[in-house]
Structure 1
Amino acid sequence: MKHKLWIGLLALWAGGALAADAYPSRPLTLIVPFTPGGGTDIMARLIAEKLTRSLGQPVAVENKPGAGGTLGTDIAARAAPDGYTLMLGSISTISLNPSLYTNLATNPLTDLAPVSLIGSTPSILAVPKTLPVSSVQELIALAKQKPGSVNFGSAGAGTSHHLAGELFKMQANIQATHVPYKGSAPALLGLTRGDVHILIANIPSLLGAIQAQQIKPLAVTSLERSSLFPELPTVSESGLPGFEVIVWYGVFAPRGTPEPIVTRLNAEIRKAIEMPDVKKRLATEGAEPLSASPQAFAQRIKSDYEKWKKVIQAADVKLE
């Protein structure tokens, strides 16, 4: 019986190895669960171009937007686990949505296999030019001096803006009212007008307003300072140790994709991330390159899921 089991395991391993050796023998599809032009789409097209060259097969990007990224994620999770359908996911689609949505058809935490991280984008905590504060500590002091007088904007309920604001409230131990807008642009306009007092949003969406001195940036939300704004302190070093809000991006495959194929894809993606032109392109988006083994990536996903689940539950955020 043991002899037959070993033969079966060896056959399974050999089959996977042969599949990886022959892989890929036809074009691949990289699903983006959002519309063209956004950060996820830009990352996907950058990686697809490099994989097309290194794998010797076309990698076509397909945008499948809808329902906060859950539609495209579901399509990817249901695809054949053969390495020919991949997805460019982010912290929102993988680590946040399982706690935000009550009716997911598939679970990205269990139905997708992490392949490789690509990069991350920190956010900036900004306030109106007219708000009489010049640091995170002064902002917290103001909120505590006048409880209920401070609010924060977001691109909508359940967005990274919203959850970042809730995390800031929790760690700073302040009261602040959430003001949801219908998108990043209206939220930024609300900040420039002074209708909201705090906005935590990613660098690309705030960059123009910062350069035009329409708003006042106080800190970045990564644990390390941003290469684009090295003069800005982090929120963590500004009195809230450990505070971190980043949006990471990574490649996923359907659960059950052969390990040799996942390993091959991980190696090719990590090579691409180290290319100077890729690093330069990421920098223009305010992003930092990231790479990790599939195992380390899986640990990051789990850690972020547990962290943000607590924030979502405390703020009682639910989406349909």
Structure 2
Amino acid sequence: MTPPVTTRRRALALALGAPALAAPRLARGQGTDWPSQVVRYINLYAPGGANDILSRAWCQAMTELTGQQFVVENRTGAGGTVGSDAIAKSRADGYTVGLGGVANLAIAPSLFPNLPYDPARDYSFISGLYRQSNILIINNAVPARSVPELIALLKANPGRYNYATGGAGTTPHLTAELFKTRTGTEMPFVQYRGGAPALIDLMAGQVQVLVDNIAGPIGAVRDGKVRALAVASLERSPMLPDLPTLAEFLPGFDLSSWNGLIAPAGLPPAQVQRIAELSLKALANPTLVKVYTENGASPWRVGPEEFATYVRAQEPRMRELVKLSGAAAG
């Protein structure tokens, strides 16, 4: 029997060791040629809101950058957990990505005891997308024109002034509770179903203090219908650059909304890097930056490792704040 001919390629592989024969090859679309088809982007929120506008701006920038369509699919419900579950259970081929942020990755595990997904196990973390400041505003009749004056007023009148947010367990709600803890003040919480009705009641004097994402009340602030005192991010907002941060009065105070790009767990590392590189380029698109700024957001240009590390650090922090606030799903 004639022995098999050992080709030069096989001999080289044998010389390098048996594992070389089994070295995996990335399928088409999993490496440097991604994307080679339409990409589905799952947004957790309803069409027309700030998160939807910001998501579509990123998808448009990615379409322009890659020549492939990025199609937004709105999967709403249960504080973003419905869409999050859909992302987690999608095929890990790089052609389903979606929104992963403070609500579904860091807060939801403390609000929903039977969460259908595990933020630490079920996702590939790709890149940051954007951050949004929360803003502290008051009714114009409240006799305070700065954060120190508001703190003094609240301490002199414990329980007299109410504060509102657009929902329990949201970053505005947790911001207000952290503010109360840091300042030793008392303000009863009035919960609304969304920031818009809360703002209406603030202007009418039904509540005296409101914390919300900056994009919601920015028009009322600029029109002088309410008084803005500070933003809750470490840096001042480009939308209101003259408005101070809470950290300028309460060192280290930082509680903003943040969102990044996630995909189902199991994406090959080379594909994660490829998507991240393109995402970071898209976040520098001037049109995207303009849309972000107009909607109270700033591009968050962090890669896979930094994004994953940040998420892991935020979940226990949010758990403590949810416990402090007494928030529960419902």
TM-score past 0.5 threshold? yes
Which of residues 169, 188, 207 in structure 2 aligns to 1:158? Answer: 169
Paired residue type of 1:192? M
**C-alpha distance in 2, partners of 1:246/1:203?**
10
Aligned length: 315
Gap regions ≥5 residues in structure 1: none
Q: Tell me the secondary structure at the aligned position of residue 15 of structure 1.
A: coil
Greater mean alpha carbon deviation, residues 190-199 or residues 287-296? 190-199
The structure having more radius of gyration, on CA atoms, is 2
Q: CA deviation at 1:20?
A: 0.9
The one-character-per-residue Cα deviations of 1:259-287 (angstroms, maximum 9, x if unpaired) are 11111111111111112222111111121
TM-score normalised by the chain length of structure 1: 0.93
**C-alpha distance in 1, partners of 2:304/2:27?**
17
1:39 aligns with 2:75: no
**C-alpha distance in 2, partners of 1:110/1:173?**
38
Q: CA deviation at 1:16?
A: 6.6
Structure-2 change in CA distance of 1:47 and 1:130 (3 Å): same
Residue in structure 1 matched with residue 23 of structure 2 by the alignment = 11
Residue in structure 1 matched with residue 183 of structure 2 by the alignment = 172
Residue in structure 2 matched with residue 132 of structure 1 by the alignment = 143
| Segments of 4+ moved more than 4 angstroms | none
1:259 aligns with 2:244: no
Q: CA deviation at 1:3?
A: 4.9
Q: Is the Cα contact below 8 Å between 2:54 and 2:291 reproduced in 1? A: no
The one-character-per-residue Cα deviations of 1:7-56 (angstroms, maximum 9, x if unpaired) are 47x613x4379831343332110000111111221121111112223333
Residue in structure 1 matched with residue 299 of structure 2 by the alignment = 289
Structure-2 change in CA distance of 1:215 and 1:18 (3 Å): closer
Paired residue type of 1:48? C
1:312 aligns with 2:322: yes
**C-alpha distance in 1, partners of 2:212/2:276?**
29
**C-alpha distance in 2, partners of 1:11/1:66?**
42
Paired residue type of 2:123? L
Q: Tell me the secondary structure at the aligned position of residue 204 of structure 1.
A: coil
Q: Is the Cα contact below 8 Å between 2:128 and 2:302 reproduced in 1? A: yes
Q: Is the Cα contact below 8 Å between 1:218 and 1:232 reproduced in 2? A: yes
Higher fraction of helix: 1
Residue in structure 2 matched with residue 272 of structure 1 by the alignment = 282
**C-alpha distance in 2, partners of 1:105/1:310?**
21
Residue in structure 2 matched with residue 93 of structure 1 by the alignment = 104
Q: Tell me the secondary structure at the aligned position of residue 41 of structure 1.
A: helix
Residue in structure 1 matched with residue 257 of structure 2 by the alignment = 247
Q: Is the Cα contact below 8 Å between 2:175 and 2:232 reproduced in 1? A: no
Alpha carbon RMSD of aligned pairs, Å?
1.8
Structure-2 change in CA distance of 1:3 and 1:117 (3 Å): same
Residue in structure 1 matched with residue 159 of structure 2 by the alignment = 148
Greater mean alpha carbon deviation, residues 135-144 or residues 21-30? 21-30
**C-alpha distance in 2, partners of 1:146/1:23?**
60
Paired residue type of 1:294? P
Paired residue type of 1:302? R
Gap regions ≥5 residues in structure 2: 1-15
